[in-house]
Structure 1
Amino acid sequence: MGRAGACADNAAMESCLSLLQKNLLDRGSWATRLELRLAIVRWLEKIYHRKRRRGRGKLTPVEFETMIINAVAPAA
């Protein structure tokens, strides 16, 4: 990754944008850019980050963050 022409460079972002398009943008309309921005942030935080699995452990970002916080707390 990182080289010009590497096919996997944009795959993760394209996957995210595709899901955003299908699950949010194609299903509604917004009166202002601020409403659209809030809808996108809400979708990312409430849906995408809580359900999407990644990495070898297949944890969602929220599950991974909780695991790290719980592992670090006793050490502190």
Structure 2
Amino acid sequence: MTELAEAGIPVTVTCRVLKLSRQPYYRWLANPITTSEVVEAYRANALFDAHRDDRRIRAPAAGRRGPRRG
């Protein structure tokens, strides 16, 4: 959004169009995401994707409660 502000578009207008609150934007601007947090997020996504794509890992079938009795 800083690029838009440099182009003359106010942050207030940009936040309204994007349906974002100004306060979280300014909080993020004052304390941006660190490189290590980005790396951690990429690793978490890679683990999630590997788990999702592994055919050996499956959730139990819905409605299945173990062996039938009686």
Fold conserved between structures, TM > 0.5: no
Larger radius of gyration: 2
**Greater relative CO (CA pairs within 8 A, separation 6+):** 1
